[in-house]
Amino acid sequence: MSSLQIIDQQNPVLFAAEFQKAIARQESVLLVNFTWQTSERAQINSFLEPDQRPEILTKKSHILIPTGGTSGQIKLAIHTPETLSASAQAFRNFFALTRVNCFCILPLYHVSGLMQWWRSHLSGGEFKLGDYQALKRGILPDGDLGDFCLSLVPTQLQVLLQVCPQWLAQFRLILLGGAPPWRSLLDQARQFKLQIALTYGMTETASQVVALKPADFLAGRNCAGQVLPHANLSLSEAGLISITAQSLFLGYYPNFNYSKTLETDDVGAFDQAGYLHLLGRQSQKIISGGENIYPAEIEAAILGTKFVKDAAVLGLPDPYWGEVVIAVVSLQNPDDLDKVKMAIAKQLSRYKQPKYWFVVEQLPRNAQGKLNRIKLRQMIENHYQ
């Protein structure tokens, strides 16, 4: 019988140790983002009520990995050692690696960090934890990392290219994902001959199901890449991507869903050589710094302060973050904006808090109260110009 272990550790060394112990004991694990604030932790606590736990969770080892929902509510993607191992094995096969050594600077509560540990563990490779904040200051670790893999989001790559490009050049493989990279960043990486592998995947698929091999990247390709051997992708007439994979999750806790296909809101196209090109997202989801952010959650928090008459949130392209969160508000009183910012700071993680605020008299809504997001976006873009 499997018990549920909750791992809520800021220290990545302790996090990895607790996770390894739980997996060795074949226990189920819930990964917690230590930066969560009160509203997010309240969501998790609601999942942990005894009557919410499905019986199947006590009979087999599962790994519950947090991800965002379309409403901004936290979801826990249900994985098993088998789904994570299918992803890790496909990674090894695709990149022709026997042992996977990883130098990890991404959080272990996120699938992008967790899968680095899993790949190393499964293959008998070496797993090292790095300190991104130290790297940003030019404090580099001792030792040769030439046989190691590194995973980054575009903003991290941008910073490290400025600080230590030659250090990056030693890595055997640098996975780049979490947000769309911009062309100038990729061109700069090529100048230093970095072994970049662009990736496409998500928590629900236990990381990438599509990747671009470094040789293709260095030859000038900027697309998502080729489908990994454990997965299959199909496109609807509108270009929406559907995924089947051996690494596919089992549903969102506590609801198990054994569907073999994941319908995404991502739009793509295959070229004649079979490479996937990502064209955008159908939903309003914002990806900023590699984190999924949903406007509804932030709008609800802003409106809940009672200092605003109306509010809307959207994302706009940004060369550093990929996208930035923009809040447009109509205030109850002209001097209330700082009160709004202080109030939501206690409720939302920092990456969800708007980076820019615009105060307007009235938001563009129709007679039924529906927000005209196209007009709202035009208002903001005109302000930028």
Q: What is the mean pLDDT of each run of 10 residues along the chain (385 residues)?
A: 83 96 94 88 82 62 82 85 98 98 96 97 98 96 97 89 97 91 86 98 97 99 97 93 97 85 92 92 82 84 87 90 94 95 93 95 71 83 70
Residue 221: the pLDDT is 97
Number of separate domains in the chain: 2
How much is the pLDDT for 366?
60
Dist CA 150 CA 78 (whole Å)? 25
- Alpha helical stretches, state H, 25-110: 38-47, 81-95
Are 317 and 377 part of one and the same domain?
yes
Residues 230 and 346 in one domain: no
Helix/strand/coil for 56: helix
- Select from 165, 154, 153 the least CA-distant residue to 192: 165
Max Cα distance, the chain (Å): 65
Domain boundary among 281, 302, 337: 281
Neighbours of 90 (CB within 10 A): 23
Residues 236 and 301 in one domain: no
**Apex CA 366: angle with CA 363 and CA 369, to 5°?**
80
Q: Which amino acid is at 252?
A: Y
Residues 309 and 175 in one domain: no
CB 307, CB 256: distance < 8 Å: no
Last residue of a domain, one of 242, 265, 281: 281
Q: Which residue, 238, 264, 281, sits at the end of a domain? A: 281
Do 104 and 121 lie in a common domain?
A: yes
Would you say 294 and 284 are in contact if contact means Cβ atoms under 8 Å apart?
A: yes
pLDDT of residue 70: 45
* Phi, psi for residue 253 in degrees, rounded to 5: -55, 135
Which residues 6+ apart lie within 8 Å of 158 measured at CB?
A: 185, 320
Q: Could you tell me the CATH number of the domain that includes residue 312?
A: 3.30.300.30
**Which residue type is seen at 359?**
V
pLDDT at 35: 86
Domain hosting residue 22, numbered range:
4-281
Please answer whether residues 380 and 358 qualify as being in contact, where contact means their C-beta atoms are separated by less than 8 angstroms.
Answer: yes
- CA nearest neighbour of 230 among 197, 201, 268: 201
Domain identity same for 306 and 178: no
Measure the CA–CA gap between 159 and 311, rounded to whole angstroms. Answer: 33
Query: What are the phi and psi torsion angles at 221 (to 5°)?
Result: -75, 140
- The pLDDT value given to residue 57: 60
How many angstroms from the chain centroid is the CA of residue 362?
Answer: 33
CATH of the domain at 93: 3.40.50.12780
